[in-house]
Amino acid sequence: MSTFHLSRCALTAILGGAGVLHFLVPKPFDQIVPSWVPGSPRLATYASGAAELSVAAGLNHPATRKNAGRVAAALFVAVFPANVEMARQWVLQSRAKAAISLLRLPLQIPLVTSALRLAR
Q: Residues 97, 98, 100, CA angle at the centre, nearest 5°?
A: 65
Q: 1: pLDDT confidence band, cut at 50, 70 and 90?
A: confident
Quick check: 33 and 3 in contact, CB under 8 A?
no
> Rounded to the nearest 5°, which phi and psi values hold at 63?
-70, -25
Is it the case that residue 2 has pLDDT exceeding 90? no
Supply the pLDDT for residue 4.
Answer: 84
Question: Could you state, in order of their start, the residue ranges of all structural domains in the chain?
Answer: 8-119
In this prediction the pTM is 0.92
Supply the pLDDT for residue 5.
Answer: 85
Residue 108 identity (one-letter amino acid): Q
Q: How many CB atoms lie within 10 A of CB 13?
A: 11
Dist CA 88 CA 98 (whole Å): 8
Average per-residue pLDDT for the chain? 96
